Amino acid sequence: MNGTYVYYGDKLLGRDETRPEYEILLHGNYVYAHVTTLDRHPLYLNAHIACALDSYETLYSTRPSLDLESLRQHISRLLEINRMPSGSNSVTLFLFPPETSGIIPDPLLVSGRPLIYRGYSLADLRPRAVVVNYELPFGTHRTAVSLTASGYMADFARRNGAHIALRVDRSEQLISAGEYPVIALKGKHGFLPTEKICGKSVERDLLIRLCDQIGIGIESRTVSAEELSEMDEIIIFDFTGIRCLLCCGENYYLNLAGQKMERFLAEITQQGFAG
């Protein structure tokens, strides 16, 4: 988290308070949504919140009520009062599970870190990746567990001279890059796990849209760790935009489709203000 202030429900609070109420909640379970902003306005907020609420209902059998217009205003105000740059930033909304009484705690909204590029972009740095086998409970949902596991795997990747950990399951099938979708390309074909395997997300939908715009046909299936050596390109879509892998282990990849996708990223960013 960055910034001095957070929104807890409709209350703007300073994080320098002694043992604020929300601090205890962050040590337990939650569902979260990580949202990219541009000029202090969220991108695809409705879609991000819809995914988070669907996960919340699946896990807790109830659905919190959120005022999206108020949330938009809170995001703009939070970035402003925390003096975040007016370009691209990120914010995170935490949704906490119901109490034993059935009461749902207020959501928590915090500032993330400023981003280098404006909106969704093609990262100049092509990351190196390692394959990591790890399973997650309720792995298709963005939760405290998935966020913590992704952090550990990112640390593991750095310790092994890489930037990104590609997650495979116990049968060595490629699932995701942390919590974000990854597509393997061979020629004009892309292989992307189904929502049932990798989870529903805004980033997955945008990746599919980009593939369609450059003429890549998508087959909804996983690829094995062994098949990675046969692929031409590996592309990840995270909250910053597109990241095209340089290599995974001894396998090196092209960067042709990613460069074609780059032409459509400004349009996708602009459309995010309405979604």
89-117 tens-digit pLDDT: 999 999 999 999 999 999 999 999 899 99
What's the rounded Cα separation, in Å, for the pair 57 and 143? 13
Please, what is the average pLDDT of the chain?
94
Instruction: Give the strand pairing for 128-133 and 233-238.
Output: unpaired
Q: How confident is the model at residue 158 (pLDDT cuts 50, 70, 90)?
A: very high
Percent of the chain whose pLDDT exceeds 90: 89
Asked whether the predicted pLDDT for residue 212 surpasses 80, the reply is yes
User: Which of 62-66, 121-125, 134-138, 157-161 is predicted with the least confidence, judged by mean pLDDT?
Assistant: 134-138
With residue 132 as reference, give the H or E element that holds it: strand 128-133
Q: Report helix angle 45-60 to 68-81, nearest 10.
A: 110
Place of tokens 């939070």: 78
- The domain segmentation of the chain, as residue ranges, is 2-115, 122-274
Q: What is the mean pLDDT of residues 56-78?
A: 97
Report the pLDDT value the prediction gives residue 9, as an integer from 0 to 100: 94
pLDDT, one tens digit per residue, over 112-154 is 989 999 999 999 999 999 999 988 889 999 999 999 999 999 9
10 Å CB burial of residue 53 (0-12, 13-18, 19+) is: middle
Pick the more confident residue, 19 or 178. 178
3-state secondary structure 178-189: CCECEEEEECCE
Cβ count within 10 A of residue 2? 14
- Taking the CA atoms of 79, 32, 154 and 259 in sequence, report the sign of the dihedral they define: negative
> Is pLDDT above 90 for 18?
no
Q: Alpha carbon of 258 to those of 60, 130, 151, 185, 216: distances in Å?
A: 38, 20, 25, 11, 11
pLDDT surpassing 80 at residue 233: yes
Task: Determine contact, residues 141/147, Cβ cutoff 8 Å.
Answer: no
Q: What mean pLDDT comes out for the span 180-200?
A: 97
State the pLDDT at residue 180: 97
The class level of CATH for 122-274 reads: alpha beta
Examine the pLDDT at 4 and tell me if it is beyond 80: yes
Q: Give residue 14's pLDDT.
A: 85
Considering the domain 2-115, what is its CATH architecture? 2-Layer Sandwich (3.30)
Query: 85-112 burial, b if ≥16 CB within 10 A, otherwise e?
Result: eeebbbbbbbbbbeeeeeebbbbbbbbb
pLDDT at 83: 93
Q: How long, in residues, is the chain?
A: 275
**Beta-bridge partners for 88:** 38
SS3 53: helix
Share of the chain above pLDDT 70, in %: 97
Cβ contacts of 241 within 8 Å, gap of 6 or more: 117, 119, 120, 121, 122, 123, 265
Question: Residue 19: pLDDT above 80?
Answer: no
Residue type, 261: M
Radius of gyration of the chain (CA): 19
- The β-bridge partners of 166 are 131, 177
Euclidean distance between CA atoms 147 and 165, whole angstroms: 13
Over residues 194-217, mean pLDDT: 97
Q: How far apart are the first and last CA of the chain?
A: 24
- The whole-number pLDDT of residue 275 equals 78
